[in-house]
Amino acid sequence: MPLRFYQTEPHQALVKLEGNFDSDTAPEIRKSLIKIVKNKGSESLKIDFSEVPNLGTAGVAVLVEVLRAMTRKGGALELVGLNDNARQMIRLARLGEIFQT
């Protein structure tokens, strides 16, 4: 799955995902997102899902891990461009109130 990183402001970052975010792609995405959280010094991370047709449970697990990493460093994670599938997966995992969407 292609992942593009943009530094939008000095302490704000945007990651655009393309393709499915599921058990096949989650390990690669996890590695990239954790690296961004640890190395880029961003206080705010937005993940754009506008090009993600399917969010699976493995993808949700990665998002929880990234949220925890951002919270530990005093930052925030925001999910943007979510389609109905992604919103449903987040609701089913009972995480709707945890993620900024």
CA 19 to chain centre: 13
Q: Closest Cα partner for 40 from 84, 78, 10? A: 10
Which pLDDT belongs to residue 38? 85
Residue with tokens 């640890």: 38
Query: Which helix (H) or strand (E) segment is 89 a member of?
Result: helix 84-92
Helix (H, G, I), strand (E, B) or coil at 54: coil
Helix axes 57-72, 26-39, angle to 10 degrees: 10
Answer yes or no: is pLDDT of 8 > 80. no
Which pLDDT belongs to residue 1? 60
Which pLDDT belongs to residue 16? 96
Answer yes or no: is pLDDT of 9 > 70. yes
Which pTM does this prediction carry?
Answer: 0.87
Torsional class of 82: left (φ above 0), alpha (ψ -120 to 50), beta (otherwise): beta
Per-residue DSSP letter, 40:
S
CATH class of 3-92: alpha beta
Answer yes or no: is pLDDT of 100 > 70. no
- For 20-55, what is each residue's pLDDT tens digit? 999 999 999 999 999 988 877 678 899 999 999 999
Which pLDDT belongs to residue 99? 72
Domain-wise residue ranges, the chain: 3-92
- For 57-93, what is each residue's pLDDT tens digit? 999 999 999 999 999 989 999 999 999 988 988 888 8
